[in-house]
């Protein structure tokens, strides 16, 4: 089923409908895994369960500076009626505690030190007093296990400590190191081919002739891809000619996981993206045109099982279409499993602010409004950064986006809005 | 003025007081700048204003597919009484529009195409109809400037488009490319020396003997440093001996911007961090002990103008002290300028959730409680992940942190709390 709608000549599908149409056809592949050192694995997604083959710790440790004791030797001890224990030695940090603790004895131990055999608790240093040559006064009872980390208390041998699909955080790297894992299998980052089209586009390092403009979109798009956890594969700038663009898209399909083409997504004479996608074999173009502003002339297609996006050439429309369709797909392909859906709450950093002027939005269209934030009288105000979606400066001067839903006719000055901050 | 307080023997300073004491002595340096290609500059902080030496665009462009016209030729045009214009040619994309538009003429132009001399507006294609051999019927009037992007509308020549101190986002990279800037000066990332101490600590790739544990902290800390925008410089694991630790800290001071030492921050026999910092010359230790749990035995010092932190050896305490003191300092040294303070609103991703059980917190102490989130009956609940701060697994099993302020005695089951999600 193909939805063709551009230039207002038919009813465009909504963002939600566009996603439904796409995901009804698309089957997400599992990306290959690669080995990386744990010290380089921050933010990568684990490709297999990490289990410990050992207890952490694998010996009982003190969690305080104090004296290792038999707890029953301290029962009933108070400041006025302390227990007196014989100091039988000291456990050195990092060394095996070899001295067997006997009834009536205490052994000096530091935080993290090994508990000597026979001891079952640690009395904190501040509840003790040296007494005479070789004794210690204990002013409080210690319960069995008090101030002791038992073997496996942190991580049990055999236990999966980090499941496949977890995006690795600093503490996860620490835990992996703690169980002796210094390299892990992580999913390859989704590779996104970036193809820029337009006779007027030249490389950013060239001097434009009249009628030419430098490439803005591939830089913006590559940055968005990196932020979403993907890796950009820039395939270059192409003139509006069918064969070379098709060849570039075929290269993208062969090498990358997702293909993003900027420019030529509308229905004008020079707009070849839809033809190219349809020329790659079924299903081809699935969606052409979405009721969103800016970004309406977006194309969502599929070829050889891979998603192929045709994005409008306007920079702001590139950003909006990316955030709606490509960013979420990169996250899905990354292999990250998020059973609670927490990654999406909130999907990005948001702030509440009051809108600084009335703004009207056509009903039946999801409006993505760029805003700049400023504090005034202690309140945060969001000023719409107006301007055509072809202007990259409207994005540069904005702090974030306010989404006005399909059915809402606009915003009233002073109204509170949720501003999704740019990352 | 030195605040010495450990083991509850004096009143500890609060987090805010500790920051005041530190920042009263500390003078933030400006880090050196380095040149990077714009395509590698995502997330880097711009070290000098980026100004455009050209207008963007530097010619008038059409923002629609349609006909370039003299607007006055279309005044009064309606569907029933259209204007008829002679089609004088077509502007090719990416080429100079050389044909001079004369009164009564129209020139076909595509989105992004150059406006021909003489034209001052564009009529959208859908408001036109071909008529006869060589004419076009225009059914709506075009106002002067309509559907035209004027030279400099996006970026004016001479204008600073991205100020020094901006952390570069995807759209900023796009704008830089658009004005022909393909390499930028960015501030060097703050370098943080990581020094791990403890006789019991061994490298993660070694097999522990009884009494030994693998290094967790340097991995956790390096990840936290990277997340905050800094670069970790691992200086290794040291036994609890004064001279080698001092030498490592001196190397850190010589090479890095911030020095972080884990372990040995308490006041036991083997705890040398405070002595080492004091041994480096004034001012030495500025704060020793902060009323926060976990993380109380933290040391904040200064030597040779650089911040030297002594962090407790417990992994959870490392994370809490990092987030309170080191992360914000890295952000400050990064050179990022944020006049609205927006980077701090919210400082991290947060969600609201209901706490699943009562939790009591000692007044006079800021409590950082790790929680795991789960949805129940459509609501998000936060379950405290209890356990000693020495257990890395409590961090691994948690989704985020709830901060219980100094004066609050605890949390009541069902109460709504703000959960700061781990990044």
Output the tens digit of pLDDT for each of chain B's 423 residues.
343 454 444 568 999 999 999 999 999 999 999 999 999 999 999 999 999 999 999 999 999 999 999 999 999 999 999 999 999 999 999 999 998 999 999 999 998 999 999 999 999 999 999 999 999 999 999 999 999 999 999 999 998 989 999 889 898 999 999 999 999 999 999 999 999 999 999 999 999 999 999 999 999 999 999 999 999 999 999 999 999 999 999 999 999 999 999 999 888 777 899 999 999 999 999 999 998 888 889 999 999 999 999 999 989 899 989 989 999 999 899 998 865 555 444 445 677 889 999 998 877 788 889 898 888 888 889 999 887 777 888 888 888 889 898 888 899 999 999 888 777
Which of A204, A327, A382, A421 to probe by mutation at the B interface, max B CB count within 10 Å?
A204
What's chain A's length in residues?
423
**Between chains, do A91 and B57 touch, taking CB under 8 Å as contact?**
no
What are the structure tokens assigned to A3, written together? 């939805």
Asked whether the beta carbons of B139 and B79 are under 8 A apart, the reply is yes
Q: Is the pLDDT of residue A83 over 90?
A: yes
pLDDT at residue A9, rounded to an integer? 43
Burial A300-321 (b: 16+ CB within 10 A, else e): bbbbeebbbbbbbbbbbbbbbb
Tell me which chain B residue has its CA closest to the CA of residue A154: B391
Mean of pLDDT over chain A: 90
In this structure, the strands spanning A61-62 and A148-149 are: antiparallel
Residue A216 pLDDT > 50, yes or no? yes
The structure tokens listed for A317 are 């429309």
Please, are residues A280 and A247 in contact by the beta-carbon 8 Å criterion?
no
What is residue B341's predicted lDDT score, i.e. its pLDDT? 54
Calculate mean pLDDT across residues A8-34: 87
* Minimal CA separation from A169 to chain B, in Å: 7
And the tokens for B210? 């009884």
The pLDDT of residue B4 is 44
Contact A211 B391 (CB under 8 A): no
Minimal Cα–Cα distance from B272 to chain A, Å? 13
Q: Tell me what pLDDT residue A267 has.
A: 80
Which residues of B are less than 8 Å from A9 in CB distance?
A: 126
pLDDT beyond 50 at A179:
yes
Exposure on the CB side of residue A178, measured as CA atoms within 13 A: 30
The CA-CA-CA angle for residues A162, B312, B14, to 5°, reads 110
Chain A residues closer than 8 Å to B112 by CB: 198, 200, 213, 313, 390
Q: Which positions in chain B touch A387 (Cβ < 8 Å)? A: 153
The pTM of this model reads 0.88
State residue B2's pLDDT score: 41
pLDDT band at A345 (very low <50, low <70, confident <90, very high): very low
Predicted confidence (pLDDT) at residue A8 exceeds the cutoff of 60:
no
Residues A253, A302: Cα–Cα separation, whole Å: 10
Q: How far is A229 from chain B (nearest CA, A)?
A: 13
Average pLDDT over residues A360-376: 85
Residue A173 to residue B205, Cβ atoms within 8 A:
no
Mean pLDDT of A26-32: 94
Domains of chain A in start order, with CATH, are 3-31+188-333 (3.40.980.10), 33-53+166-187 (3.90.105.10), 61-149 (2.170.190.11), 345-421 (2.40.340.10)
Partner residue opposite B213 with nearest CB, options A57, A199, A220: A57
DSSP states of A321-344 as a string? Answer: HIIIIIHHHHHHHTT---TT-GGG
- The CA distance from B181 to B48, in Å, is 13
Q: Do A266 and B175 touch (CB under 8 A)?
A: no
3-state helix, strand, coil in chain A (%, to 5): 20, 35, 45
Q: What is the predicted pLDDT for the residue at A361?
A: 85
Q: What is the pLDDT of residue B392?
A: 82
Instruction: Look at residue B364 in the predicted model and tell me its pLDDT.
Output: 78
Q: Residue A338 has what pLDDT?
A: 67
Q: Tell me if residue B336 falls in helix, strand or coil.
A: coil
pLDDT one-digit tens code per residue, A253-306: 999 999 999 999 888 777 899 999 999 999 999 999 998 888 889 999 999 999
Give which of A306, A319, A311, A307 is closest to A290, Cα–Cα: A311
Among B61, B176, B374, the residue with its CB nearest the CB of A340 is: B374
Q: How far is B113 from chain A (nearest CA, A)?
A: 7
Q: How far apart are the first and last CA of chain B?
A: 36
pLDDT of residue B343: 47
Res. A342: pLDDT tops 60: no
CB contact under 8 A, B63 and A375: no
The Cα angle at residue A299 between residues A294 and A301, in degrees rounded to 5: 150
Label residue A179 left, alpha or beta by phi (over 0 means left) and psi (-120 to 50 means alpha): alpha
Look at residue B353 in the predicted model and tell me its pLDDT: 86
pLDDT of residue A343: 47
């Amino acid at each position: 089923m193909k939805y063709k709608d551009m230039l207002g000549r038919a009813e465009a599908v909504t963002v939600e409908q566009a996603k439904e149409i796409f995901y009804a056809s698309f089957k997400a592949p599992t990306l290959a895994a690669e080995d990386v050192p744990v010290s380089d694995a921050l933010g990568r997604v684990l490709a297999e369960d990490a289990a410990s083959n050992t207890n952490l710790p694998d010996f009982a440790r003190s969690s305080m500076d104090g004296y290792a004791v038999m707890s029953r030797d301290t029962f009933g001890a108070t400041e006025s009626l302390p227990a007196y224990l014989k100091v039988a030695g000291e456990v050195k940090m990092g060394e095996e505690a070899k001295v067997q603790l006997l009834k009536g004895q205490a052994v000096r131990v530091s935080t993290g030190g090994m508990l000597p055999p026979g001891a079952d608790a640690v009395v904190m240093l501040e509840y003790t007093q040296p007494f005479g040559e070789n004794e210690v006064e204990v002013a409080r009872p210690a319960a069995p296990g008090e101030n002791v980390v038992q073997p496996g208390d942190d991580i049990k041998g055999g236990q999966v400590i980090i499941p496949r699909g977890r995006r690795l955080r600093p503490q996860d790297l620490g835990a992996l190191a703690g169980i002796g894992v210094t390299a892990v299998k992580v999913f390859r980052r989704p590779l996104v081919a970036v193809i820029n089209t337009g006779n007027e586009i030249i490389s950013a390092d060239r001097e434009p002739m009249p009628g030419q403009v430098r490439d803005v979109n591939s830089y913006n798009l590559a940055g968005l891809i990196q932020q979403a956890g993907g890796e950009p594969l820039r395939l270059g700038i192409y003139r509006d000619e069918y064969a070379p663009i098709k060849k570039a898209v075929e290269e993208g399909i062969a090498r990358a996981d997702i293909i993003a083409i900027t420019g030529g997504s509308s229905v004008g004479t020079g707009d070849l993206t839809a033809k190219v996608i349809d020329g790659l074999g079924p299903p081809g173009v699935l969606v052409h045109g979405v009721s969103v502003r800016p970004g309406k002339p977006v194309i969502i297609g599929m070829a050889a099982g891979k998603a192929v996006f045709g994005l409008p050439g306007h920079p702001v429309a590139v950003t909006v279409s990316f955030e709606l369709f490509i960013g979420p797909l990169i996250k899905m392909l990354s292999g990250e499993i998020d059973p609670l859906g927490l990654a999406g709450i909130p999907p990005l950093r948001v702030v509440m602010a009051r809108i600084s002027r009335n703004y009207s939005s056509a009903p039946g269209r999801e409006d993505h409004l760029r805003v700049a934030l400023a504090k005034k009288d202690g309140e945060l105000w969001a000023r719409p950064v107006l301007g055509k979606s072809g202007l990259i400066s409207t994005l540069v001067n904005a702090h974030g986006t306010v989404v006005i839903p399909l059915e809402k006719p606009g915003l009233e000055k002073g109204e509170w809005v949720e501003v999704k901050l740019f990352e």
